[in-house]
Amino acid sequence: AKLADKFSIVRSFVTGDAVHDIKTIVGKDTMKANLGSLYSRMAGPLRQGSAMPTNVALFPQAVSTTAMPVIKKFGDFTSSGEFGSTYQPFVPGAGSGAQADMTLSMPQTRLDDRRALLTSLDQWQRSMDGSQSIGGASEFQSLAFDVLRRGVSDAFDLSKEDPRLIARYDTAALLPKNRISKQWNNHQHYADNAATLGKLLLMARRLCERGCGFVTVTTNFVWDMHADNNNAPCRVGMDYVGRPFDHAVSALIEDIEARGLSEKIMLVCCGEMGRSPRLNATGGRDHWGGLAPLMIYGGGTKRGQVIGQSSRNGGEPASEPITIPDLIATIMHTLVDVGEARVTDGLPPGLLNVLTRGEPIRGLV
């Protein structure tokens, strides 16, 4: 609440249905690709100059070796749709081989020698058979060498961060695992969320600061509050997930403000649907497609705005609905020059349609 003048709330956001999926980030409105893959298709898979991946997805295992694997039964956050694997989000894992492969483990001179040797072999092969197929491989080799040479892996290493800042972000102490009742089948989901959310947002800030254009953060579907065998009722559930969210997001906003990055980093907090305005028979709330939460901060958007109105019971918009295409247009408006994209050769027509289908949210941009 103390930071309410920094971010904006949209009270008339509608996702269209109550289906458990990931439609705001991967769905029919994004060509069934992670929205970051659309951005990566326009910006390139690696940032020029820094070799930072332009599209990254952060799951609990990015900062914890004991966290559950990402859940995919509701949708695949790493989907790149028709754009191909080149534009899939990079997915780091704590102690994973992928991150280790991004670290230079030999002297720079030796790496340069290997690069020169590969270049010579490529040239020889081309002269022998006239093949053009090696060209694509050479491009990926060049990208790989840039990743190694520029020390990209440092951005994923939280040990490089000030311990005091790590402590400010850390949400683990807010909900020790022994405080989560095992009567809920999803108790491990709650535990992973509390243990990792703060550090995931810290890593996201580090990545954005180093040039990553799009970061997806998710902690495995913890916001259901049906009051059934799987999920806690509202009061308990909000204690499990609300406090870590408040702590982590406030730490991120304060950190971005302190670094003067509020114009360069945009934070979007949302889900695939809302929750029913009426309690169910067991004191929980069920899926609701009539209205959904949406919070937006930074990226040049206006601060402290309350956009739209909802009905008295919070069940549907009482003003013009804001849709997923409108949210996408708002995000892309901050990331790319849509007018320039219209005249850029080679972009898929479907991608241009995604960019222009909705309208940036009035009152924010």
Residue 2 lies in a domain: no
Residues 298 and 282 in one domain: yes
pLDDT (0 to 100) of residue 121? 43
Q: pLDDT above 70 covers what percent of the chain?
A: 84
Q: How far is CA 50 from the centre of its chain?
A: 20
Q: Which domain holds residue 109?
A: 104-150
Residues 38 and 135 in one domain: no
Question: What tens digit of pLDDT does each residue of 173-195 get?
Answer: 999 999 999 999 999 999 999 99
Residue 1 lies in a domain: no
Residue 364 lies in a domain: no
Residues 226 and 146 in one domain: no
Question: What tens digit of pLDDT does each residue of 144-173 get?
Answer: 545 555 567 889 999 999 999 999 999 999
pLDDT (0 to 100) of residue 207? 97
Residue 336 lies in a domain: yes
pLDDT (0 to 100) of residue 137? 46
Question: What tens digit of pLDDT does each residue of 128-146 get?
Answer: 455 444 444 455 455 554 5
CATH number at residue 314: 3.40.720
Residues 331 and 216 in one domain: yes
Residues 274 and 340 in one domain: yes
Residues 280 and 339 in one domain: yes
Residue 256 lies in a domain: yes
For residue 8, pLDDT beyond 50: yes
Residue 169 lies in a domain: yes
Residues 216 and 268 in one domain: yes
Residues 144 and 230 in one domain: no
Residues 140 and 273 in one domain: no
Structurally, the chain folds into a number of domains equal to 2
Residues 278 and 351 in one domain: yes
Residues 260 and 353 in one domain: yes
Residue 271 lies in a domain: yes
Residues 313 and 219 in one domain: yes
pTM score, whole prediction: 0.87
